[in-house]
Structure 1
Amino acid sequence: MNLYLIRHSTSEKANAFKKDFERELTSEGRELINRAANGWKKIIPTFDLVLYSPYLRAEQTAKIIGEVYNISDKLSKENNLAAGCSTGMLIDTLSRYDFENIAVVGHQPDLSYHIANLCSKNSLNINFPAAAISKINFSSAVKFSGGKLEFLIPAEAY
């Protein structure tokens, strides 16, 4: 199985007038994820499923990815993927699906922790910028320390 972890694109700054889960992508963030997803198509033909956090900025990111890949019918909101999601919760969520290529749109620092927990028995220090994508390959089921990190590409690469 191939797991693609994607950080939501650039969003509004936190402020006292809007709840964190209501923060939207900026116009620059929309452009960034659109450009990045179009670049990903050169190395990732499609996703079988795109799961995303219930936060608005993650949903907006997933919808742009769905439009670029023409797979809007393969998007699914997962409440377990909200900010603060543990790697155990991610594994439990993924275990409900039987697909070869699953993308997950989430948040920092969660995504860095997931990579460290899924690909190493030790800690890793990973910079995971907005609209970046990583690929972790598992020869069998998704499990702690069972994955191989194949790449982590910042959006600026496209």
Structure 2
Amino acid sequence: MDLILWRHAEAEDEQEGRDDLDRPLTARGEKQAARVGKWLDRTLPEGTRVLCSPALRCQQTALALGRKFKLRDELAPGAQASDLLELVQWPAARHPVMLVGHQPVIGATLAQLLRLQADNCAVRKGAVWWLRTRERDGAGQTVVWAVQSAETA
């Protein structure tokens, strides 16, 4: 199974009186999303399911990909790594799945799958981590297939 985790691009800071889910991307964030979206569009296999947090900044990030996506409340801020892995049916799903979401849950999911000692892995805004499962010597493994930052896409 392929699992692609895309952290939303740079968003405006929180403002009093505005719901956190309504924060849009900054101009820089729009450029980050466009660069990474272009790279992903060239790289993602056909049939990849794209699931997105309902937060505006995630939706704007996903729109840069130019593919259909589904909003999922399970990806909203405050989600847990176990929620994400259940949503994507890790590692049994037959098709690649891409999630567009937030820190710290993306980092927590990476830490869990890569068996890092820390309970979180730092993920830059706009970055993509592409994980793949494989079997070697009868044991399942998680492999980092690609990491793409918004600055180098």
Are 2:10 and 1:10 aligned?
A: yes
| Structure 2 Cα separation of the partners of residues 99 and 63 of structure 1 | 24
1:90 to partner: Cα distance: 0.7
Instruction: Summarize the Cα distance change of 1:121–1:130 in structure 2 as closer, same or farther, 3 Å threshold.
Output: closer
Instruction: Summarize the Cα distance change of 1:58–1:47 in structure 2 as closer, same or farther, 3 Å threshold.
Output: farther
Aligned residue pairs: how many? 148
Give the match for residue 87 of structure 2. Answer: 93
Indicate conservation of the 8 Å contact 1:49/1:99, yes or no: no
1:81 to partner: Cα distance: 0.8
Q: Which moved more, 1:42-51 or 1:76-85?
A: 42-51
1:148 to partner: Cα distance: 2.0
Alignment gaps of 5+ in structure 2: none
Q: How does 1:123-134 map to 2 (within 5 A)?
A: 123=118, 126-134=121-129
Indicate conservation of the 8 Å contact 2:110/2:120, yes or no: no
| Structure 2 Cα separation of the partners of residues 30 and 47 of structure 1 | 25
Instruction: Summarize the Cα distance change of 1:47–1:121 in structure 2 as closer, same or farther, 3 Å threshold.
Output: same
1:126 to partner: Cα distance: 3.0
More helix by percentage: 1
1:139 to partner: Cα distance: 3.0
Give the match for residue 81 of structure 1. Answer: 75
Give the match for residue 113 of structure 1. Answer: 108
Q: CA RMSD in A?
A: 2.4
TM-score after normalising by structure 2: 0.84
Give the match for residue 144 of structure 2. Answer: 149
1:129 to partner: Cα distance: 0.8
Are 2:64 and 1:64 aligned?
A: yes
Secondary structure of the 1:105 match is: strand
Give the match for residue 38 of structure 2. Answer: 38
| Structure 2 Cα separation of the partners of residues 153 and 104 of structure 1 | 15
| Structure 2 Cα separation of the partners of residues 79 and 4 of structure 1 | 18
Q: Which moved more, 1:33-42 or 1:18-27?
A: 33-42
Deviations 1:93-129 (A, max 9, x none): 1129944221100101111111001121632663311
| Structure 2 Cα separation of the partners of residues 4 and 157 of structure 1 | 17
